[in-house]
Amino acid sequence: MTNVEKERHASWLELFYDLVFAAAVSQIGLTLHDNTNSITAFLGHIALFVPVMWAWVGLTFYSARFETDDLFHRLLVFLQMMGAAALTINIHGALAETSDKFAISYAAIRILLVIEYIRAGRKIPAASKFARGYTQGFLISAMLWLISAAIPIPFRFIIWSLAIAIDIATTFIVGRKHVQLAPNFFHLPERMGLFTLIVIGETIFGLVSILSYHEWDLESTISIGAGLSIAFGLWWLYFDNTDGAPIRAFRQKGRIRIYITWLYVHFPLVIGLVCTATGIRYIVSASQNTALSYAGEWLICGSVSLCLFSIGVIQFTITSASHNYDEDREGSSSHINRHSNTRRRLIVQGSVYRFIAGFVILLVPILAIPILPLALILIISVICAIQIIIDLRYHPHHRIF
């Protein structure tokens, strides 16, 4: 095990691990589609993203800190994948009859992660205090999840919330004391990006699966094309601005707020992507001759807006972190600093346009504008296309106009 700061890429085992959790995300998406007519059930299943994503984040951050690939590590990862599979199986009833099994599955994943950190603390003396802090916090959380399986609903969900809060507090408190053990700023952004890409892929899978149940006609063909263009636009905007600068700013300057913001904004981004897929499926399968329901407008518009807002914040944190790094590296050179400031201003402008686009899309449900499903998805796809054009105009790596 090492934590040498070098360029690293995701291993085949990590990619395999991602696919198992992608199945969990896909299952949540299918559950959301089945509960689009119930706001309470819909929001409840959205909340399930937090433990699912947090379970994935646990091993992802461990791998981004400690480069491990021995036999015992592979066995532990395999067992965590089995836990993730059990988590996936119980997602559909995670707020009702299978919530106890969901809790036990999550607890098993966290306990296996605790074993990983115990091993890291023993093999790397410099990481012993760090690993001990994570072990204690995660173990307390895992025990709460296990206890919750024996507690009746709705008190079970209160314990879940407490356990997640302990997990998050542990990463914040312990991580802040051990800046030198921050995740690798080459490896982690790639892992976050790959998982985001898999989630976007679920959008495409959902659209393709619709074709198995619907006849090809002009409206459905245009709707699916517009839905794919939305997925393409969100992919473009996210991956054209992905970078490890927030991690570098945390490691080198202790700027934990930039780092934490960059990390946690990925949660609403993934939620928005999955809900966008649900919204597109809802629009394609809806009657094209009547105005979309108010709930349907909020579903698709709110989802895409959440994605745009999240991407805007991620882009802004990366820009802020990069600007601070450039200032330290470039010193007092006025010419280079002017170039850095210009580049930062251009990227910030692009980030602001994400917020404006998200707000414009939200105006449809806010003002309760009656609109046909096909017209709405076309409008959203055009707005995403405009964002790409803006990116081509303002992004420092493009600037083709």
* Model confidence pLDDT, tens digit, residues 19-45: 888 888 878 877 777 777 677 777 887
Q: Are residues 216 and 171 in the same domain?
A: no
Block residue for tokens 């394609």: 284
pLDDT band at residue 218 under the 50/70/90 scheme: confident
Q: Which of 153, 184, 215 is the last residue of a domain?
A: 184
With 0-12 / 13-18 / 19 or more C-beta atoms within 10 angstroms meaning exposed / middle / buried, residue 131 is buried
Spatial separation of the C-alpha atoms in residues 89 and 98, rounded to whole Å: 9
Q: If we measure between CA atoms, which residue out of 386, 323, 300 comes closest to residue 32?
A: 300
Q: Are residues 162 and 253 in the same domain?
A: no
Q: Are residues 164 and 220 in the same domain?
A: no
Structural domain count, the chain: 2
Q: Are residues 218 and 286 in the same domain?
A: yes
Q: Which of 184, 215, 243 is the last residue of a domain?
A: 184
Q: Are residues 54 and 170 in the same domain?
A: yes
Q: CA 258 → CA 134, 236, 314, 316, 395, distances in Å?
A: 21, 23, 9, 9, 21
Q: Are residues 165 and 289 in the same domain?
A: no
| pLDDT above 80: residue 202 | no
Quote the domain boundaries for residue 39: 1-184
Q: Are residues 281 and 222 in the same domain?
A: yes
Block residue for tokens 């059990």: 86
Q: Are residues 159 and 257 in the same domain?
A: no
Spatial separation of the C-alpha atoms in residues 82 and 311, rounded to whole Å: 32
Q: Are residues 84 and 217 in the same domain?
A: no
Model pLDDT, residue 364:
92
Q: Is the CB of residue 253 less than 8 Å from the CB of residue 324?
A: yes
Q: Are residues 223 and 357 in the same domain?
A: yes
The token duo for 380 is 């959203």
Q: If we measure between CA atoms, which residue out of 203, 200, 198 comes closest to residue 30?
A: 203
Model pLDDT, residue 145:
95
Model pLDDT, residue 182:
65
> Mean pLDDT across the stretch 147-172?
91
Spatial separation of the C-alpha atoms in residues 175 and 90, rounded to whole Å: 32
Torsion of CA 160, 166, 167, 173, to 10 degrees: 170
% of the chain exceeding 70 in pLDDT: 78
Model pLDDT, residue 345:
65
| pLDDT above 70: residue 327 | no
Give, rounded to a whole angstrom, the gap between the first and last alpha carbons of the chain: 48
Taking 3-state DSSP, the helix, strand and coil percentages for the chain, each rounded to the nearest 5, stand at: 80, 0, 20
Torsion of CA 309, 236, 17, 160, to 10 degrees: 10
Spatial separation of the C-alpha atoms in residues 264 and 268, rounded to whole Å: 8
| pLDDT above 60: residue 342 | no
pLDDT band at residue 362 under the 50/70/90 scheme: very high
Q: Which of 184, 219, 250 is the last residue of a domain?
A: 184
Q: Are residues 290 and 276 in the same domain?
A: yes
Spatial separation of the C-alpha atoms in residues 310 and 263, rounded to whole Å: 11
Q: Are residues 79 and 204 in the same domain?
A: no
Between 221 and 376, where is the model more confident?
376
Amino acid at 10: A
